[in-house]
Structure 1
Amino acid sequence: MSRRTASCACGQLSLDCEGEPLRISICHCLACQRRTGSAFGYQVRYPEAAVAIRGRFSGYAQAGDSGNVARFGFCPQCGSTVFWRPDALPGIVLVAAGAFADPAFPPPPTVSVYGDRRHAWVALPPGCEALD
């Protein structure tokens, strides 16, 4: 079984993720754009039982464009958001894809959401399902 580690920029907060992710997706909602400072959020979904959190984290809750609330875990030292738990998906942890800092993982997203807010220059990878 594969094991991957995601961490914040300073390394104080890390997550050990066991097995393969349930889903890899990108989100173009305005809340993700603001949270990431990028054109979209890129996240890897795992069952909560497959994720072990090491280090300290602070949290905040924020409603996304859907109105659903997610509870974000970020490093109190460097400020990196590493993971979040959406209230609408109990037992699921989403991990910021860039926190793995591995060019070979994750593979391209298979799902894209909030395409109506997608920047015009962003092209979806082949085979990526668009859920608007």
Structure 2
Amino acid sequence: METRSAACSCGQLRIEVRGEPRGVGVCHCLACQRRTGSAFAALASFTPPYQVTGEATEYVRQGDQGARFRFRFCPTCGTNLFHTEEGFEARSVSVALGAFDDQADLPPPQVSVYDSRRHPWVQLSPDAQVFDRDPG
């Protein structure tokens, strides 16, 4: 089974995941735009187990549908490396696409969430599944 590693900018916080991603997606909500400092967040979701090394700072945010997301940041460089949804930690972990050591074999995003907030210059794959808001 293939192992993938991702790290924060300074390398202090790392996560190792196994297997193929459950999915790759982008989120255009304002919270993700603020969190990433970009026009959207790009994430790959993996099934546990996963291994984290280093120290993380956590931030919990409640989504529009009531779900609570626990984001893990590096306390040294501030990189938002991964997050889980409370109550579903045993099902998946989502890792920032740009943090992977090797990004060449990751598929393009198949899902776009909060597409109603997508900047008009952001182009998606024509076969991407699009949701105006959180599909819940």
TM-score w.r.t. length of structure 1: 0.91
Q: Is the 8 A contact 1:42 1:96 kept in 2?
A: yes
Shift of residue 103 of structure 1?
4.1
SS of the equivalent of 1:78 reads coil
2:21 is paired with a residue whose SS is coil
User: Is residue 2:57 matched to residue 1:53?
Assistant: no
Q: Aligned-pair distance for 1:48?
A: 2.6
> Partner residue of 1:70?
69
* 2:33 match: secondary structure: helix
Aligned position for 1:131? 131
SS of residue in 1 equivalent to 2:34: helix
Taking the TM superposition and a 5 Å limit, the aligned residue runs for 1:102-117 are: 102-117=102-117
Q: Does 1:87 align with 2:86?
A: yes
Q: Is the CA contact (8 Å cut-off) linking 2:115 and 2:130 kept in structure 1? A: yes
User: Could you tell me how far apart the structure 1 residues matched to 2:32 and 2:65 are?
Assistant: 11
Number of matched residues?
131
Once the two structures are TM-superposed, the CA of residue 41 in structure 1 deviates from its matched residue by 0.5
2:38 matches 1:28: no
| Unpaired runs of at least 5, structure 1 | none
Q: TM-score, length-normalised on structure 2?
A: 0.89
TM-superposed CA distance for 1:33, in Å, is 0.4
Distance 2:110 2:68 in 1: 23
Counterpart in 1 of 2:42?
42
The alpha-carbon deviation at position 47 of structure 1 amounts to 1.5
Amino acid across the alignment from 2:33:
Q
Q: State the Cα distance separating 1:127 from its structure 2 match.
A: 1.3
Q: Secondary structure at the match of 1:48?
A: coil
Matched-pair contact (CA < 8 Å) for 1:31–1:65? no
Give distance in 2, aligned partners of 1:126 and 1:101. Answer: 27
Amino acid in structure 2 at the alignment position of 1:112: S
* Alpha-carbon separation, structure 2, partners of 1:36 and 1:83: 12
Please give the alpha-carbon distance, in whole angstroms, between the structure 1 residues aligned to 2:27 and 2:116.
11
Identity between Structure 1 and Structure 2 (%): 47
1:123 is displaced (CA, Å) by 1.0
Instruction: Quote the Cα distance in structure 2 between the aligned partners of 1:116 and 1:15.
Output: 31
Where does the alignment leave 5 or more consecutive residues of structure 2 unmatched?
none
Does the CA-based 8 Å contact 1:29-1:64 persist in structure 2?
no
